[in-house]
Amino acid sequence: MYSKKVMRSALETMMFMWGEPLEVKYAAEVLEADKSEIRELFLELQNEYEQEGRGIRIRQVGDAFGYVTYIENDIFVKKLCTPVRIKRLSQAALEVLAIIAYRQPVTRSEIDSIRGIKSDRVIDGLIAKGLIEVTGRSEGVGRPLIYATTKEFLKKFGFTSLDDLPEVPEYEEMRRMPEEEGGFGQMSLDFGSEEQDDKAKEQQ
């Protein structure tokens, strides 16, 4: 028979690891205790979390208990989870990410052609952040690597699929047009002074 302290600790660990409301009967089986005793411990923990104003609370669902966040803290969670923490991405990174998102799958040379500047450093940074990935090789000369966005990109920006990408007329039209007809290869994007700074670095 485990002590009350051990069982309370075990219940917290199991709720955290289970990922969904943990049924009393399963917890009782693991702790080799009566369901009524385990239910009482769950209720004690629930009351304790509420009285102490914890940021994590315990919610009862039927005869199961699980962790939830304190709803009043939702404002802080939203601030923390601002899509991709965009402020951490440079203008150049946002530009390349937009090109890949709307043009994918796309090669590095195609990205460079659109931007008018080499994008090696920016692409490597986006890969490191898990926002884009190499998905294969093109059938073109030299079989260059091709890039596409990742599931992490969808998650960070709050998209369910690429169909959720905002409709940008210029991108949509260019995406449908082959490069030889004035598609992305002919597209000029003005993202301000940071692109000019990049060009200046390339010329040095």
Q: pLDDT tens digits, residue range 43-60?
A: 999 999 999 999 999 999
State pTM to two decimals.
0.45
Domain architecture of the chain: domains with CATH: 4-73 (1.10.10.10), 83-199 (1.10.10.10)
Average confidence (pLDDT) per 10 residues, the chain, 204 residues: 94 91 95 96 96 94 92 85 64 91 92 90 92 91 92 86 78 47 36 40 41
Distance CA 199, CA 43 (A): 63
Contact in structure between 137 and 144 (CB atoms under 8 Å): yes
DSSP characters over 74-100? HHHHHHHTSGGGGGGS-HHHHHHHHHH
DSSP class of 189:
-
* Strand bridging mode 64-69 / 132-137: unpaired
How many Å separate Cα 177 from the centre of its chain? 30
Question: Residue 8 has what pLDDT?
Answer: 96
Give the tens place of pLDDT for each residue, 10-34: 999 999 998 789 999 999 999 999 9
